[in-house]
Amino acid sequence: MKRTGFLALAALLIAALLAAGCGKEEKKTLILGTSPDYPPYENVDTTTGEIIGFDIDIAKFIAEELGYELQIEAMDFNGLVAALQAGRVDFVMAAMSVDPSRDVDFSDIYFVARNTIVSKEGYATLDELSGKRVGVQLGSTQEDVAEGIPDPGEIVPLNRIPEIIQEIKTGRLDAAIIEDAVAAGYVANNPDLTFKVIESGTEEGYAVALPKGSDLLDDVNRALRKLEESGKKDELVKKWFE
């Protein structure tokens, strides 16, 4: 009799635990699309294989503020907007400039950078690139900047920044237009190259890209304001750019 009562009690306890487990809400997932070839914004840590960077840390902050787990999907830069529009990712962070032609919704700007010319020769102006073969990342706003070169020899869009750098080093490109923080990192590792800021005053405002009409836009902007007001953004700038 005692054994029967004990088994009944055990069964009740197991049922209660199972019910509690079933009632526990699983944390939702946000999928980030990025192009991890653009340090210090996003790149693959060669030691761990993890995607890291300034944008990635901000994406983690946003996901945490919104109560989501973060899943990262890597792809070429020129495929990011298509992935967003097709619903394969929920948002994009990839040092992406605000550009209405991309047909997505953009958050408030979270960082501003400047364009530079990377070369062996020390070119400093677009005029000096006349007649030269100039590399840009495919799908980037640097393609638009390159249109300001008078009589260029050839504008060469390539998928990844490392490819562009390698093409300059081998002499197949004369120069490339690349954002300043990224250029600084690559030049530091390639002392035969230099970079010069284009003094035209053009700055790149980077924002989070979301699908048109996304319900997340206001929440993302709220998280970005908290990032700024809390001092966390300053910490990340020091971590990745200083």
Domains of the chain: 28-112+205-241 (3.40.190.10), 113-197 (3.40.190.10)
Give the residue-averaged pLDDT of 88-112: 95
Going by pLDDT thresholds of 50, 70 and 90, the confidence category of residue 241 is confident
Q: According to the model, what pLDDT value does residue 175 have?
A: 98
Q: Which long-range contacts (CB under 8 A, 24 or more apart) does 13-17 make?
A: none
Task: Tell me: pLDDT of 9 over 90.
Answer: no
Task: Tell me: pLDDT of 2 over 70.
Answer: no
Q: What is the DSSP string of 91-118?
A: EE-SSPBP-GGG-SEEEEEEEEEEEEEE
- Beta-bridge partners for 37: 43
Q: Which residue has the tokens 């958050």?
A: 107
Percent of the chain with pLDDT over 70: 88
Give the residue-averaged pLDDT of 11-34: 66
The closest alpha carbon to 179, from 233, 104, 223, 115, belongs to 115
State the average pLDDT for the chain: 89
Going by pLDDT thresholds of 50, 70 and 90, the confidence category of residue 59 is very high
Q: How far apart are the first and last CA of the chain?
A: 74
Q: According to the model, what pLDDT value does residue 200 have?
A: 67
- Amino acid residing at 228: E
Give the residue-averaged pLDDT of 55-84: 97
Percent of the chain with pLDDT over 90: 78
Q: What is the pTM of this model?
A: 0.75
Give the residue-averaged pLDDT of 158-174: 96
Going by pLDDT thresholds of 50, 70 and 90, the confidence category of residue 79 is very high
Q: According to the model, what pLDDT value does residue 207 have?
A: 97
Report the C-alpha gap between 102 and 5 in whole angstroms: 68
